[in-house]
Amino acid sequence: MKKNGRSGQGMVEYIIIVAIIALAAIAIFGVFGDTIRMKLSGGVTALGGQTQQAQAATQESSQQYLKQLSP
């Protein structure tokens, strides 16, 4: 039997799709990061979490938080 050399094509297509989805998720979290953080802090507070930590997390914007991260 002769193989036609296209056995890895399907896997490459799936990897490209996964990469596109990952980039889209990163972009969405970048745009809506502050909103997501506010919603999660509200949920944590409602479930009995510590209010002070939730407020401290929402005081800082996502851009400021990312700048403080060290590589």
Per-residue pLDDT band for 16 (boundaries 50, 70, 90) equals very high
Per-residue pLDDT band for 17 (boundaries 50, 70, 90) equals very high
Q: Which two tokens stand for residue 52?
A: 């002070």
Cα–Cα distance for residue pair 19/55, rounded to 1 Å: 34
**pLDDT recorded at residue 33:** 81
**pLDDT recorded at residue 65:** 65
- Model confidence pLDDT, tens digit, residues 21-71: 999 998 888 888 888 888 877 777 777 766 676 666 667 776 676 677 665
- The reported pTM is 0.47
Q: How far is CA 66 from CA 10, 17, 30, 63, in A?
A: 36, 27, 10, 5
